[in-house]
Structure 1
Amino acid sequence: MLGFFSNKSTHPLADAREVKRILAEIVAGEPQSAVEEATAWLESLTANESFKLAQRLELIFKLDEAAVAQARRLGRDYPALGSTSRAAETRQWELSHGYWQQLAAAYFDCLAGYRAAEKEHDALRPQLPMLYGRLVNALAARLKWMQFRYGPVDPEFWMRVGGVYLAAVDAKVAQKPLQLYPGSVESSIEAEYLKVLLFHATSMDNLRPLEIEIAERFITHFLPHFSLIRELLRENVYWVDAAKPLPPTRLAKHPEITPTLRFFNGARAVEAVATTIEQIRSEGRVPPGINLGAQYEAAKVIPVLEHLAMCWAPKPPMRGNVRHRINSPLKVVNGLAAVHQRLSGRSAGTQGFETWTVDDVSLGGLGAQAGISRNDWIRIGGLVGLQPEGGDNWLVGIIRRYVRTTPNQASVGIETISKTPRAVFADAGGLQTEALLLDVPEVGEYARMALPANALEDKVALVFALDDKNARLHPRETLSTGADFVIANFFVQSFS
């Protein structure tokens, strides 16, 4: 297939033996190096005009096939980097996002060349379904990597991916069965586009990176329970206009009817999710027929499935408390240690905190606009200390929603878990532990405490002094965990 070079190009990819060597090197290499090399070759192909369009597209296909497993492996491994090295996490994100961005750009370049040169039509027409499918797949992967950083997603993204789908519809190949990669399951351009729509509809801004990775795999698994249709039916839940720079939206009111309008709903998928949850709880494992790319404990998988069911349900989840719109400054400190320092009086003044702006408040939490600092510490599930304007008390909250609205600004949703936290220095079997008491202790009742992630030990009581009294609390069940903390229920044995 690569033996039709007639212009004596000096580019290494013009030599069939060199191409074979490069592809083998990418397949067998270390994932980061392989993806970096593939990105460089894609960039050089796009910039080099010595290749005919059909030649360039075939080489892009081959580079894509050689690198796809390596690129997916980086996506699977990325969530674990957040708890190790910020530098390694940043490098892997930039490398992976850059690869999918370059791959999509290379495919778009071929598509533009096809549209501009009629003489190339006969040579490329048989390859169009694969070009459209691979391009939507590359855009979907890029969207996932943008979501790993919680955006922002440019509205143009939706017009571009929708434009590829509509081009496939016009060419009457959108529903044509397609095997995107050797060994992959059969798909179609429409199915790949629907995956992108479902990914957005699944509210990834409420999930941590590992949960995003798991959710994406489940979307592929449950995809047969969805269909993309043109008709406005009562059971429709979401709509999208593929020709407009808008993401899919819940059907709260009827949109303007256009030829490019599409609908989808997840009623059958919600039933399948419920069945899967029951099976996992019964068997204590993910069923063998579900490919999540790795082995995960049931406790990590079930919350993701519950989130999918909530997002795909015909009726959106109702807010438990009424929101009140305000505009007020908010002091924020990051992490258990920093909150403990503030509450214990070891840290004061204007250093060590950021100032956000509160948008709305409710009994359960608040929404705020946050500037993204250089160290970019905001994470779903992170523990924060909050001090509203005009008060001297601190609250403790957990970040539950995170959306980058611009490269330097974000919208953050925080669940308030304590309005009266206290910092204590507890004795845990002879080891001093800095902990936060989240509830007022009452003998014979339970009180929540937040401790460093590795400080909770089963059957080891916490003993501490508070307000001229001595308290002894025994650990019970763990309620939640984060990168630097664990929150657990404690039985209050004594407080006097």
Structure 2
Amino acid sequence: MREFLSSLLSRDKSPLASSKAALAWYRRIEMLDPQTQLGKVIEVLGRYLELAPRPDFESLQALVLLDGAVQTPLEAICYQYVSNPRMAKDMEQRLWHDIVAFSQRMADCYQRFIEHEGDELYRTAGYTEQMPLVLARSLHYIAIQAKWHYFRFEKAPGKLWTLAHRFYRLSEVEGFDCNPFPLYPGRDRGVSSCADEYIQLLMLATLSANNLSVRQLDWVDQWLDNWSKLIQLNRRHQEERDHFCVNLQEAQGPQKIQADSTGEPFRYWGLFDLLHQVQETAKRLEAGVAPAELGLGADCRAPSCLELLKHLDMFWSMSIRNAQIQRSQRRDVRKAAQVLHGLDVICQQVRADNEKFSRQPVETRTQVDYDELMDMRLYGFVSSRTRSKLQQVPPSTHSRAPEYPTWLIENESEGGFGALLRYSENEWIRPGVLLGMRLGDAQNWHVGVVRRLVRRGADEVAAGIQVLSSTPVAVHIQQVQESARTKVPLAEFLDGGSAELPSPKLALYLPYKGQGGANLNTLILYGADYASDRLYRVQARERGFTVGLESVLEKGVDWTWVTLQVVK
């Protein structure tokens, strides 16, 4: 009987009984430290959910008011977590659980009112006007929970996606999904909407497997406060513009558009406007504009911001390029592959391959000869000079090759590999990183790029690698100061001699099959060395030739892959 009476009277004692009660209660704890404040709010929300009183409009107003008041301590605790990556493990766990628990309980409290939107509560004066705010804040707290899971390289739980899809769909049905309003009035966050909060959740999920640091993910999330307004969700698929889709009836986030991704459950969106904004922001940052003036945040530093913007440019450009490319069938294998990264290091090892395999005796040579390869690519035949040179050069002796990290190859396909690696030994790995891979000491180095990352455990990462070329050639390049150029057929090209280039820069020549099976001459060079309106002198061992760079196939954070044309 005592418990029954307590339950009847508990609502009157709850800070969520009315706006006045909520304000008076919060003033009593306002001077406490942020973590204690948040803990007490979590307790109040927990008791409200346990007692499960019937929702009414006064309780909703109290919840909205308390939510706005607690934003200051919440932001302080979030900042403490994000800005202190080397905190003690017990502190990290305590902060993580406080933030996630608060966000979950706040979303659950809002959901209590959403579930009753169809009964007499919905007809209460003012309740209809509050529903856009209730749904937008619910999506906001779902996004916070998802982000904190990404901080630990975990996937967002399926139940979060189920709720997010449901809340967004409800805002569509009610017709206010794109209505703008301040999410927290009086705070400098601009306006938002249910669609903006939902899109921000979706776009951050596209980067969840990018192995970004906590600070980098948090920066992108802040930038998406504004960038989300550059994306429009559509019910009808436009093949030329859409790059991602989401199924509102499945417990998962964004996915690649497939042949069966059609019908009412799907929403589609493209990245062109967002990518343009990222590229323009990076250009202005390189021109010397301060990050704060570009809306990137007062605590952002230009070099770190620029690196992250270039990564976003690379990754979302790659998403556009691969939006509708179907993956080839995979075969389960069990192999070991040596791996290295960094354009300079890859070039050095590829050059060693070029030297080693080009100096094998002609009678016993079994590997690809790179002088012959260059002749075939440039002339269409092997020149007599190359054949004579190969017969005259004696085989060379080589010292023992250095050891490189080894990854386990789990599967392979026509275009690449699926590898398993330890994160603690490969913290540098990101989508878009250029790799050198070798499946054995007797093999030559292949050139590939990391396409996908999936965190499987605390120290285990699965990576998808596309092989760009199995026969790369290391070259030296230098810009040539010429304003005009005349294209010539490759078969008419004359050897340019063996003079060494002053201050040469390293690059990789890759024979590559483009769309439709066309053979392309391509070059991977540092992004800082790329200029589309200049000629380049390319030196491949004893032969040199002049080229002009044409279309860009892909950009990495620090490298650019382009097609080239030999010129006279």
TM-score normalized by the length of structure 2: 0.56
- Cα distance in 2 for residues equivalent to 1:207 and 1:317: 22
Shift of 1:207: 0.8
Aligned residue in 2 for 1:154: 157
Q: Residue 48 of structure 1: CA displacement?
A: 2.4
Instruction: Give the match's secondary structure for 1:240.
Output: strand
1:306 and 2:357 aligned: no
Q: Distance in 2 between matches of 1:285 and 1:77?
A: 24
Cα deviation, 1:167-208, whole Å, max 9, x if unaligned, reads 111111212222210133111111111111111123453211
Q: Report which of the two structures shows the higher radius of gyration computed on alpha carbons.
A: 2
Equivalent residue letter for 1:120: L
| Aligned counterparts, 1:18-37, within 5 A | 19-24=22-27, 28-37=31-40
- The verdict on how the C-alpha distance between 1:22 and 1:7 changes in structure 2, with shifts beyond 3 A counting, is closer
Q: Which amino acid aligns with 2:302?
A: A
**Cα distance in 1 for residues equivalent to 2:245 and 2:87:** 40
RMSD value, Cα: 4.3
On the 8 A contact 2:153/2:211 being kept in 1, the answer is no
Task: Map residues 173-212 of structure 1 onto 2, 5 A cutoff.
Answer: 173-183=176-186, 184-212=189-217
Query: What is the aligned partner in structure 2 of residue 140 from structure 1?
Result: 143
1:236 aligns with 2:287: no
Amino acid at match of 1:161: A
Q: Does the Cα contact within 8 Å between 1:323 and 1:360 map onto a contact in 2?
A: no
Question: What is the CA–CA distance in structure 2 between the aligned matches of 1:87 and 1:19, rounded to whole Å?
Answer: 32
Match of 2:99 in 1: 96
The residue aligned with 2:49 is 46
Give yes or no for the alignment of 1:220 onto 2:225.
yes
Which 10-residue stretch deviates more, 135-144 or 216-225?
216-225
Q: 1:265 Cα shift? A: 0.9
How many equivalent pairs are there?
374
Structure 1, unpaired ranges of 5+: 1-5, 331-354, 392-398, 416-444, 447-496
Secondary structure, counterpart of 1:95 in structure 2:
helix
SS in 2 for 1:245: coil
CA shift in 2, pair 1:74/1:16, >3 Å: closer
| Structure-to-structure mapping, 1:313-352, within 5 angstroms | 313=317, 314-316=320-322, 326=332, 328=334
Say yes or no: does 1:122 pair with 2:111. Answer: no
Change (3 A) 1:193 1:109: same
Aligned residue identity for 2:300: Y
Q: 1:136: Cα distance to partner?
A: 0.8
For residues 163 and 221 of structure 1, the distance between their equivalents in structure 2, rounded to whole angstroms, comes to 24
| Residue 281 (structure 1) aligned with residue 332 (structure 2) | no
* AA aligned opposite 1:315: R
Question: Equivalent residue of 2:410, what SS?
Answer: strand
1:81–1:358 Cα change, 3 Å = farther
Is 1:266 aligned to 2:271, yes or no?
A: yes
Cα distance in 2 for residues equivalent to 1:21 and 1:400: 54
SS state of the match for residue 312, structure 1?
helix
8 A contact 1:226–1:265 mirrored in 2: yes
Distance 1:30 1:128 in 2: 32
CA–CA distance in structure 1, aligned partners of residues 172 and 105 of structure 2: 25
Q: Residues 380 and 401 of structure 1 are in contact (CA less than 8 Å); yes or no, is this contact kept in structure 2? A: no
Q: Distance in 2 between matches of 1:103 and 1:89?
A: 21
- My pick for the range that moved more, 84-93 or 17-26, is 17-26
Q: Verify: 1:359 aligned to 2:363, yes or no.
A: no
CA distance in 1 between counterparts of 2:75 and 2:335 reads 41
Letter of the 1:87 partner, please give it: D
Within 2, Cα distance between the matches of 1:10 and 1:148?
Answer: 39
Pick from 256, 263, 282: which aligns with 1:250?
256
User: Distance between the aligned counterparts of 1:128 and 1:224, measured in 2?
Assistant: 21
Cα drift, residue 356 of structure 1: 9.8
CA distance, structure 2, for counterparts of residue 257 and residue 187 of structure 1: 28
Identity of counterpart residues, as a percentage?
Answer: 18
Letter aligned with residue 159 of structure 2: E
Give the AA of the match of 1:296.
Answer: C
- Could you tell me how far 1:390 is from its partner in structure 2? 12
Post-superposition Cα deviations, 1:211-254, rounded to whole Å, max 9, x if no partner, equal 10111112223223221122221211111122322311233545
TM-score, reference length from structure 1: 0.64
The amino acid of 1:167's aligned partner reads L
